[in-house]
Amino acid sequence: MIRWSGYDWITNERWGLIHEKKSNQWYDQSCVQIDQDNNLHLKTKLNPRFFQNLNIISPIGIGLVSCTEKFYHGIYEIKAKLPYGVGLWPAFWMYSWDGWPPEIDIFEGYSVKNPNYFKFNLFKPFNIWDVKSNIHFTKKDGQRKEFGAKTHFWGFNNPTKKFFKYGMDWQENYVKFYYDQKLVRTINDPFILNQLNKTTMNVIINNAVMPDVTSSNLCESDFIVNYFKYEKTGEFH
């Protein structure tokens, strides 16, 4: 466990060190570092480890921190520089302490082809960074559903070269996403909000790799986060 930005964080998912469906990577404590300026570094690196329960060797260690606090309505923010390299999947997200879903992805970055997350979309020519918000929830029939991952316009500066603020305002009647202090998305669907408002959330920040990344095509990287902030605005009932 580490102490950072005023909170206690474990360096793996609360259920373990590896996801059986993403077994090319595992949550490696050595990929989590705090420097002398209190910046959090979440790395990806080649560090094979054998997992007896899955009978596999997972080749890639990744940095992940999971906060031990139970969060509810409020304003959430990090200031971060995204990791550079192809095949990376950094994220700032949360999911329910009661189970999954619901999940809120404040952002997930996908450097599938370009190491700086650039992705041109003819229909959204200004949404040039493959950095997306999303919400996962449960439909009335019990099936799990995504509201829809969505890119946003928030400037032309390269997110791997500049520190940006990524934030969310979660209240009873809406969820608002902010990139570089610009409001980029509002979700106010009562059915989704009802599920969110019935639970508390586990905040996670991680640097991961895409499922097709192996030891042969891994880009070792560093996701740097200046801080995490939370401003409480409501009580859980």
Confidence of residue 236 (pLDDT cuts 50, 70, 90): confident
Q: Is the pLDDT of residue 198 over 90?
A: yes
Buried b (16+ CB within 10 A) or exposed e, 174-200: ebbbbbbeeebbebeeeebbebbbebe
Q: State the chain's mean pLDDT as an integer.
A: 96
Answer whether residue 76 shows pLDDT above 90. yes
Confidence band, pLDDT 50/70/90 cuts, at residue 158? very high
Measure the CA–CA gap between 143 and 161, rounded to whole angstroms. 40
Q: pLDDT at position 237, please?
A: 72
Task: Kindly report the backbone phi and psi dihedral angles of residue 191, in degrees, each rounded to the nearest multiple of 5, phi listed first.
Answer: -65, -45
Q: What pTM was computed for the model? A: 0.97
Query: Which class does domain 2-232 fall in?
Result: mainly beta
Report the C-alpha gap between 14 and 159 in whole angstroms.
29
C-alpha 69 chain-centroid distance:
16
Q: What's the half-sphere exposure (Cβ side, CA atoms, 13 Å) at 140?
A: 2
* 3-state helix, strand and coil shares in percent for the chain, rounded to the nearest 5: 5, 50, 45
Which pLDDT score, from 0 to 100, does residue 175 have?
98
Q: How far is CA 52 from the centre of its chain?
A: 28
- Percent of the chain scoring above 70 in pLDDT: 100
